[in-house]
Amino acid sequence: MTARQLDVLGCDIGASESPAGTGGHMRVYVETYGCQMNVADSELITGILGRAGFQMVSGPESADVILLNTCAVRENAEERVFGRLGELTQYKNSRPCVLLGVVGCMAEHLREEILRRARAVGLVVGPDSYRRLPHLIESALAGPVVDVKLDKSEQYLGLEPDRSGGVTAWIPIMRGCNRFCTFCVVPYTRGREKNLPPEEIVRQVAHAVNHGHSEVCLLGQTVNSYHHGETDFADLVRLVGAVDGIRRLRFMSPHPVGFTASLVDAIAEVPSVCPHVHLPLQSGSDAVLTRMRRDYSAQEFRAVLSDLRRRIPGISVSTDIVVGFCGETEDDHRRTVEFVEESRFDFAFTFMYSPRPGTFAARFLKDDVPVEIKRRRISEVIALQERISAEIHAKLIGSVREVLFEGAAKKGDAQSFGRTADFKGVVVEGSFAPNSFRCVRITGANAHTLTGEVLPDTGAGP
C-alpha cells in the first residue's frame, strides 16, 4: 500500500513521497508495559525507527503506527494490554490506515491469542525482531504481519537507543535467561542467555554518560550471571564503574545464587555503585523454593543478605515475593511472613501467583491455592512490609541526602520527585530540572515516600 493510497483512506502520513529510509514521515507512538528491560527495548525501538525516518509522537491520537511494547510475566499485565488494545481500536476505526501493533514478550508468547482477541492488530513482533521493524511496518500496511522467531545471535550490537526521555540510562548487558524457574515465562519469550561483549557495554555506558546521563543501570534477567570470555559480572561492574563521569551505577535484577564474594567486594569498593540491591526472595519456605527451582534455600538467601549488609553498612535491600504458589500451605506462608519480619527489607514487590502458559508450573504443578486465600496472604505480607518500610523511613527524618531529580511529582508541577542513591523516593516543593542533583533534608516519611526541603545549592553538581 503506497503513501498515495493511504491518503485516499483518510490518513495523512506527513509526506506524499517517502524520503530515504523506510519510514518516510510516518508518525509512531510507542507505549510500554512491564519492567526496565521493556523500557530499554522501547528506547531501542524508537532509536531504530528514528534512524529509518519515522517520527516519534507522544500520543496515539496523532500516530500512524501505534505499538504496544508488552510484558508476559504477569497475567494482569497481559489483560491490561488486551484492554488497552480495545481502547486504541478507536483510532483504527476512525482512520483505517492506522497500524496497531504488539511487540515484545507478550507478542512472542500469545501471538495467536492476540490476533484472535484483538482483530484490529496488524503487526505482532517478538523481542528478537526489532532490527527488522522498519521493513515489517512497511509490509504490515498491506496486511497482517507476524515475526516472533527467537534468534540466538541477535544482540542488537551497533544500534544506539533513543534515551532522550529519561534520567537513567538503561543498558541491557544480556538478553534471555538460562535458569528456568518453574513459574517464569522469560526463557520461553526471550530465549537463552546472550551476553554482550564487555567493550560494547562500556562503550554504551560512556556514550550515555557523554550525552548527559549521570545514572546508569545494567540490565539482565539474572544480571549477575553475566559472563563473557574471562569477564564475569564483578569484573564488568569494575569496568563500568571506571567510566569517566558516571555518578551512579545500578543493576537489576540479580539472582541470589550469583552473589559471589568478588561481586560483593566490587559493590563495596566501586564508588559509583549505589548502596541498593534488589534481592528477590520469592518465598521464605524451602519447600516452595524447591518447587520454584530457585536453587537456594532460605538459609542460603539469609547468608547472602548478611554478607551484603556486613560489607556495605546501610545498604538498602528490596525484594520480590510471590504468594500462593502451587502447593503453598499455611506453614509455608507463615515462614515467608517470618522471613520478611526478620529480614526487614526496605521495600518489596509482592505478587499473587498466576500460571504462565508454557512454564513447568503451568504444565506439571497444580495451582491449588484458592484466590481468596491468595488475597488474604498477600494482604498480610503487604501490611507487614508497609509497617517495616515506614519504620525504616521514619529513622531517616532529619538526615541530609543527595537526590537525583527525575521530574514533577505525581501531585503536580508544584512538586518534584527524585531518588536517593539507595533508591528512596523523595518529594520536595518546587520545580527542579530532571537529571539535577541537590542535597535534601528529610522532613517527613511514610511507607512509600520521603518528603524533604532542598538545601541551598553550594555549587556541587554533576
Write down the mean pLDDT value for the chain. Answer: 90
Predicted pLDDT of residue 210:
93
Please give the average per-residue pLDDT across 241-266, as a whole number. Answer: 96
pLDDT band at 312 (very low <50, low <70, confident <90, very high): very high
At 438-452, the pLDDT tens digits run 999 999 999 999 999
pLDDT band at 23 (very low <50, low <70, confident <90, very high): low
At 43-55, the pLDDT tens digits run 999 999 999 999 9
At 413-435, the pLDDT tens digits run 799 999 999 999 999 999 999 99
Q: Which domains does the chain show, CATH number per domain?
A: 3-147 (3.40.50.2300), 163-274 (3.30.750.210), 277-394 (3.30.750.200), 400-454 (2.40.50.140)
Write 201-206 long-range contacts (CB < 8 A, 24+).
Answer: 201/171, 201/173, 201/236, 201/239, 201/240, 202/239, 202/240, 202/243, 204/171, 205/169, 205/171, 205/240, 205/243, 205/246, 206/243, 206/244
* Phi and psi at residue 378, to the nearest 5°: -70, -35
Give 3 or 118, the one with higher predicted confidence. Answer: 118
Please give the average per-residue pLDDT across 141-154, as a whole number. Answer: 89
pLDDT band at 18 (very low <50, low <70, confident <90, very high): very low
Count Cβ atoms within 10 A of the Cβ of residue 80 and give its class: 0-12 exposed, 13-18 middle, 19 or more buried. middle
Predicted pLDDT of residue 399:
98
